Amino acid sequence: MTDRRLLIGATYPILENWPHEFVSFANEAGIGQEQFSGANELHPSWMQAVIDEQLRRQKRGVGACDVKGAIEALSSRGRAVTQANVRSELGGSHATIINRMLGRRRLATQHEHAHLLDKLERAAGGLQKLPKRSGRTVARNTLIVLAAIHRNRSIVDVCGDEGRAVIEWVREVLNDRGILGRRRVRDLFQTSWASYRALSSTRCGDDRVDALVTLEVNRARTSSARSAQHHLSRAMDGLDRRLARSPASFHFHKLDGDCNEEHAECRTP
């Protein structure tokens, strides 16, 4: 009982003139919401309301995964991914890491990955409405973009492959049994592959069709790469303009987990 009296006496200056003295003391002492987390059920409602509304979130320990989570949350709610909105979502300025990640983003969120595949699937689903040659070009571009994403290579590099290399990456994608995002890429690749074969002017065995893909991709590498890059850019319409228009932005090791060993910047101090 004596200890309780001493404790109440010591806290009285903080509780007096509630909540102004409490908030002022917390700000001066560097106490934020984090110090009260984990015991919310023990706080009276009038105290929890002040903690949630008037105490600052601490600015320490915000990493790339926190920023990515804020971007994902904004995207899922249909809000613009701006530096101001990300700062608001995180509850602080965090200027250095936000500027680094939003100045030129090279990491797509799950929402953005789904947006890209939605657009590619719609394009692939409309091939029957196009002239045969145009439909074959769209199918070929889809194959190149998906192969670049799957293999984490540039579109130019994929278009530069020859002979057996093309056959190998076609088979690699078709045989992929990865997680959901990769399976969706594989299924779209398989659909586009079937469409490409059906629209090809030469009906022949699998090896000849593989060779036809090789010839058509490599006959004019620059134009093939330019056409596929345009296809990717159109599929990215509506996404954050700061997100790099590159297949590498959508590669799977960046999407398989929130934080993995390949992303040292995701680990907060």
For every residue of 168-232, DSSP letters joined together read: HHHHHHHT---SHHHHHHHHHHHHHHHHHHHHSS----HHHHHHHHHHHHHTTHHHHHHHHHHHH
Inter-residue contact 189 to 143 (CB < 8 Å)? yes
Q: What is the pLDDT along the chain (269 residues), one digit of tens a residue?
A: 677 777 777 777 777 888 888 888 777 766 777 667 655 567 788 888 888 777 765 545 667 777 888 888 888 888 877 888 888 877 766 667 777 777 777 788 888 989 999 999 999 998 888 898 888 889 989 999 998 998 888 888 888 877 677 778 888 888 887 666 688 888 999 999 888 888 875 544 454 445 455 545 555 555 788 889 999 999 999 888 778 888 988 886 544 443 333 333 333 33
Inter-residue contact 200 to 144 (CB < 8 Å)? no
Nearest to 122, CA basis, from 191, 31, 74, 203: 191
d(CA 121, CA 191): 9
Q: Given this model, what pLDDT does residue 169 score?
A: 80
Inter-residue contact 178 to 128 (CB < 8 Å)? no
Q: Given this model, what pLDDT does residue 211 score?
A: 46
Q: Given this model, what pLDDT does residue 38 score?
A: 56
Helix (H) or strand (E) holding 64: helix 64-76
Q: H helices then E strands: how many in the chain?
A: 13, 0
Q: Within its chain, how far is the Cα of 192 from the centroid?
A: 24
Q: Given this model, what pLDDT does residue 153 score?
A: 87
Three-class SS state of 19:
coil
Domain ranges for the chain? 2-54, 59-103, 110-253
**Count, residues in the chain:** 269
d(CA 159, CA 222): 8
Q: Given this model, what pLDDT does residue 39 score?
A: 58
Q: Given this model, what pLDDT does residue 85 score?
A: 84
What pTM was estimated for this model as a whole?
0.55
Contacts of 126 (CB under 8 A, 6+ apart): none
Could you identify the residue written with the tokens 């995180």? Answer: 90
d(CA 6, CA 158): 73
d(CA 187, CA 131): 24
d(CA 14, CA 204): 84
